[in-house]
Amino acid sequence: MAADGRQPSTGPEAEQEWLAAYDPRAYTPIAVTVDVVALTLRQGSLHVLLVERGAPPYQGCWALPGGFLRAGEEGLDEAAARELAEETGLHSASEAEVRRCRLHLEQLGTYGAPERDPRMHVVSVAYLAFAPDLPDPQAGTDAAAAAWHPVSDLDLRPHGRSPAAGAPADTHGGGVDGRTGPDPLALAFDHARILADGLDRVRAKLEYSPLATAFLPYDFTIPDLRAVYEAVWDEKLHPGNFHRKVLSVPGFVESTGSTTERGGARGGPRARTYHAGDARQLHPALLRPTRDAVDDAEAR
Amino acid sequence: MAADGRQPSTGPEAEQEWLAAYDPRAYTPIAVTVDVVALTLRQGSLHVLLVERGAPPYQGCWALPGGFLRAGEEGLDEAAARELAEETGLHSASEAEVRRCRLHLEQLGTYGAPERDPRMHVVSVAYLAFAPDLPDPQAGTDAAAAAWHPVSDLDLRPHGRSPAAGAPADTHGGGVDGRTGPDPLALAFDHARILADGLDRVRAKLEYSPLATAFLPYDFTIPDLRAVYEAVWDEKLHPGNFHRKVLSVPGFVESTGSTTERGGARGGPRARTYHAGDARQLHPALLRPTRDAVDDAEAR
DNA sequence: TACGTTGTGCTCAGTCCGAGAAGAACGGCG
DNA sequence: CGCCGTTCTTCTCGGACTGAGCACAACGTA
């Protein structure tokens, strides 16, 4: 129920009294915040928008963008959209993109463990956003301390846990390409967990929803779309089969009738362009291959 | 972020000041509640646990069981489990069932529109529970006003909206069997929406997760499992193909080696018994048939 | 005992998917 | 300008899976 009105064993008078006693204003307060896991594709790899914390706790750490829900003024979806716009500078830079629905925003989950913030009990509603490649947040705005980070640079293990304790010792393929940072970035609060949940969600969502198009500009090619799937799933896909499959799913993409101006950077013919169709679900789904290995990993 | 600590354009002193100004204690308070969509199977049809409201608003209406999150004392999962136990009388009746993990509880979503409760801004974290057939909530306990209701008796359209306005005019198959109530029960607050989201979730979840077993006792037969799918999806399934499919998915069910004591109520041989396997996902998934019709309905 | 019901297993045809390959268009380089 | 490697697109083929129907045996009930 929204705010409780129960207690059936007594009359309505005691009911009113009990309700008054439960007025949260008189009790330990709870803060409600909205955090956003904003994902985009840059240079073929998945990036997440982070802000640098300027105050303790976790001062200097990177965290998901977010802020308080404005009580009585806005719903959760509005708050998430507002936070994202403030942090990316989207409001001025490319508001047209938002209007064109080139940005997907959905609720991810809510995190409310009492000890997740040392100051007080904070309930955070996390949102997941997919965006096409956006410009860097401009300095001089709210978003000065915000930046896109490659997901592979981040430490997604549970907090502060050493690799030997509990978690499998392998690096999970995050550092095989030898990126710059020797130790992966740790995130503030339980944001590593939230980000990990967001990544699970986006990986699953690409299978049965056409949301991969949200990572691309309005017009795109099938190889562009394949690059999204390959980046999110971290797997190479068979170009021919992917092409056949995408075109066979009704409502996934619609042809524009034209092609790209030039071929690929390393040669190859021009590709036909498409834009997103009107389907909200993919039937049949675009299942990802070699799920058996994933099965084994999850069963452990 | 959990509680904001940003504002990069000024120094840390202004930071502190700003943080203090955002202390939610000083602002309009927000209440956080936890509501539970508890589903079970009774006589072959899906039922949901509801409580009757004893106080305005929506006095006399049925609502989802729920209550306030106890600030600083419990997380969201704990609060949901507590509410469910209080409302069903599970704590005394069949705690063994809970211990055996015969009850599935997962977060469904969070609802925080400012006007969803007329008294104040209430953010509700909804949970979804699957349970085997539980006894009726006993009178004389917290759960006196609680009861299991067939889902098909409820009005799941958006609030107070007449069938002609906006929503399609068809009854969506909810009343074809001519059940007792002439008009379907309306739920308090936005609980019809929450329940509808829960139903969507459970229907989708049966496809790729083995959670159908959460609706059954520890030992069950394949026809029992088929009955769960048929009730949730509201579709008849092919017995032979269902049997083949369930046994072919690794980790879905494990044979106990024995059979039922008697045949079916209307004849037929004894069935072999199984219990849930250790798989957390179904590979390959158990896709539901005739999704094309669903496609059309969702495309509208 | 007869009959309808149902669990379990089988067959068969259609569809889908992974893998490979071919043809054509393109960029870059000598 | 011609060659070569790259890549978009289409095609083929064999295996796997799915939906539909059927068979048979075991069971409850009349």
pLDDT at A248: 97
Please write the tens of the pLDDT for every residue from B234-261: 999 999 999 999 999 999 999 999 999 9
Query: Does B28 lie at the interface with A, CB-CB under 8 angstroms?
Result: yes
Q: What is the rounded average pLDDT for all residues in chain A?
A: 81
CB pairs under 8 A between A and B: 238
Most confidently predicted of B54-63, B95-104, B152-161, B198-207: B198-207
Between CA A142 and CA A152 the distance in angstroms is: 26
Average pLDDT over residues B224-231: 98
Residue of A nearest to B119 (CA): A3
Using pLDDT thresholds of 50, 70 and 90, give the confidence band for residue A99: low
Query: Does B68 lie at the interface with A, CB-CB under 8 angstroms?
Result: yes
Query: Does A110 lie at the interface with B, CB-CB under 8 angstroms?
Result: yes
Using pLDDT thresholds of 50, 70 and 90, give the confidence band for residue A134: confident
Pick B12's closest partner by Cβ from A54, A113, A188: A54
Residue–nucleotide distance: B129 CA to D15 C1' (Å): 40
pLDDT at B135: 81
Using an 8 Å CB-CB cutoff, list chain B residues near A73.
114
Pick A3's closest partner by Cβ from B24, B31, B64: B31
Window 157-186 of A, Cβ < 8 Å to B: none
Pick B6's closest partner by Cβ from A51, A117, A280: A51
Using pLDDT thresholds of 50, 70 and 90, give the confidence band for residue A254: very high
- Give yes or no for residue B231 having a pLDDT over 50: yes
pLDDT at B166: 36
Please write the tens of the pLDDT for every residue from A212-239: 999 999 999 999 999 999 999 999 999 9
Q: In the complex, which nucleotide's C1' lies nearest to the CA atom of residue A263?
A: C26
Residue–nucleotide distance: A293 CA to C21 C1' (Å): 28
Which of A24-33, A45-54, A114-123, B183-192 has the lowest average pLDDT?
A24-33
Which of B88-97, B215-224, B273-282 has the lowest average pLDDT?
B88-97
Please write the tens of the pLDDT for every residue from B18-41: 444 445 445 678 999 999 999 999
pLDDT at A80: 95
pLDDT at B165: 37
> What pTM did the predictor assign?
0.85
Contact B71 A30 (CB under 8 A): yes
- Give yes or no for residue B1 having a pLDDT over 70: no
Terminal Cα-to-Cα distance of chain B (whole angstroms): 37
- Give yes or no for residue A43 having a pLDDT over 60: yes
CB contact at 8 A, B142 and A144: no
Q: In the complex, which nucleotide's C1' lies nearest to the CA atom of residue A267?
A: C27
- Give yes or no for residue B295 having a pLDDT over 70: no
Given CA atoms A122, A125, A130, A133 in this order, what sign does their dihedral have?
negative
More confident residue, B168 or B149: B149
More confident residue, B17 or B243: B243
Query: Does B154 lie at the interface with A, CB-CB under 8 angstroms?
Result: no
Query: Does B19 lie at the interface with A, CB-CB under 8 angstroms?
Result: yes
Using an 8 Å CB-CB cutoff, list chain B residues near A35.
1-2
- Give yes or no for residue B105 having a pLDDT over 90: yes
pLDDT at B157: 79
Average pLDDT over residues A281-290: 91
pLDDT at A125: 98
Neighbouring C-beta atoms of residue A177, cutoff 10 Å: 8
Protein residue closest via CA to C1' of C9: B240
CB contact at 8 A, B193 and B158: yes
Average pLDDT over residues A265-281: 95
- Give yes or no for residue A67 having a pLDDT over 80: yes
Contact A29 B107 (CB under 8 A): no
Using pLDDT thresholds of 50, 70 and 90, give the confidence band for residue A4: very low
Contact B76 A112 (CB under 8 A): yes
pLDDT at B169: 36
Q: What is the rounded average pLDDT for all residues in chain B?
A: 81
Average pLDDT over residues A232-261: 97
Terminal Cα-to-Cα distance of chain A (whole angstroms): 37
pLDDT at B95: 53
Given CA atoms B252, B254, B255, B259 in this order, what sign does their dihedral have?
negative
Average pLDDT over residues B188-200: 97
Average pLDDT over residues A114-119: 94
Using an 8 Å CB-CB cutoff, list chain B residues near A6.
51, 53-54, 67, 142, 145
Using pLDDT thresholds of 50, 70 and 90, give the confidence band for residue B140: low
Query: Does A283 lie at the interface with B, CB-CB under 8 angstroms?
Result: yes
**Chain C nucleotides with an atom closer than 7 Å to a protein C-beta:** 4-11, 16-28
Using an 8 Å CB-CB cutoff, list chain A residues near B28.
71-72
Residue of A nearest to B113 (CA): A75
Contact B74 A114 (CB under 8 A): yes
**Packing angle between helix B191-208 and helix B222-233, nearest 10 degrees?**
140
Please write the tens of the pLDDT for every residue from A158-209: 765 444 333 333 333 333 343 444 567 889 999 999 999 999 999 999 999 9
More confident residue, A97 or A70: A70
**SS3 labels along chain B:** CCCCCCCCCCCHHHHHHHHHHCCCCCCCCCEEEEEEEEEEEECCEEEEEEEECCCCCCCCCEECCEEECCCCCCCHHHHHHHHHHHHHCHHHHCHHHHHCCCCEEEEEEEECCCCCCCCCCEEEEEEEEECCCCCCCCCCCHHHHEEEEEHHHECCCCCCCCCCCCCCCCCCCCCCCCCCCCCCECECCCHHHHHHHHHHHHHHHHHHCCHHHHHCCCCEEHHHHHHHHHHHHCCCCCHHHHHHHHHHCCCCEEEEEEECCCCECCECCCCEEEEECCCCCCCCCCCCCCHHHHHHHHHC
Residue–nucleotide distance: B286 CA to D24 C1' (Å): 27
